Amino acid sequence: MTETQTITVPHLGGSTIGYRTSGPLDPALPTLVLVNSFTTSVELFRPQFADEELTATANLLALEPYGHGRTRATWEQFTYWDSAIADLQVLDALGVREAFVLGTSQGGWVAARMAVLAPGTVRGIVPLGTSMDSESRRSRDLGCWDGVGFCTPAVDALAGSVGEDWVIPDELVDAVLAEGLGEDVPPAEREFWHAVHRENYAGDAGRRRLRLSTINLRDRDGLHGRLDGVRCPVLWMHGTADPVYSVENAEDEISLFVNSPHAELRVVDGGRHFLSASHPEEVDRATVGFIRRWAQQ
């Protein structure tokens, strides 16, 4: 596994995208793009980078969305569509002609957008613990969280300028960890994520990135009308202990991939919202099988 690096792409007036690879990109192997969840970074995929079978099956390329990690843009405003476009430009810059895309939570929205935008590039997507809807009444009626209620207090609290000694409040990090990994996060893992968040969200620039990332989560557009544009295989994995988006919602939405040659929902018993982190063995074994099945077709 390499250290986190940055690469320049032209989107949003010129951007630097934070990324990490499992090593030099081997042209003999397929590439698996990994897109992290809300306020996390490439470090979310530490278990995947440590998995010898997965790294022997595919080049791993973790990409940080706008507002996350080391990714920066010249223009201040961005959406999930912008992250999808920038990620496709990273593939082009690195000489990767085709890739599979795995995305956790918001990463699943980016993966689906990449597939819609570039069906000739994206060979398959693996959405984890996600939803293809906006934060809608329909979503809540199917047992999903109240994303508007979760995000709005943070959006309001982050509206004013702060000094350069400001860092993200611990209580906000703990709220994200509770939704993503549950209440029983081990102390060392909790402190690790506190440190990562403090580094990534510091000063007034960090406040602005965090606020816009939260606005994007709350106010994003749904994809229901666009999912017929996904023409690659889909392996959606969803945990039964996910408090954010429900299995019932996933069961309903997997049927919307009407033009995919294969659209499967795999339910993981006890899986949390940040499924790639809570149940890496299940996710990694399924992803290896998915890539091996579809890489040559």
Q: Which residues contact 116 (CB under 8 A, 6 or more apart)?
A: 223, 226, 227, 229, 230
HEC string for 79-146 = CHHHHHHHHHHHHHHCCCCCEEEEEECHHHHHHHHHHHHCCCCEEEEEEECCCCCCCCHHHHHCCCCC
Strand partners, 263: 234
H-run or E-run covering 21: strand 15-21
DSSP string, 236-266: EEEETT-SSS-HHHHHHHGGG-TT-S-EEEE
CATH class of 5-140+222-294: alpha beta
| Mean pLDDT, rounded, for 174-186 | 96
pLDDT at 214 over 70: yes
CA distances to 10, 54, 71 from 123, in Å = 24, 17, 25
Provide the whole-model pTM. Answer: 0.97
pLDDT at 1 over 90: no
Residues 38-58: pLDDT tens digits? 999 999 999 999 999 999 999
Token pair of 180 as six digits: 């993503």
Q: What angle do CA 125, 127, 132 make, to 5 degrees?
A: 110
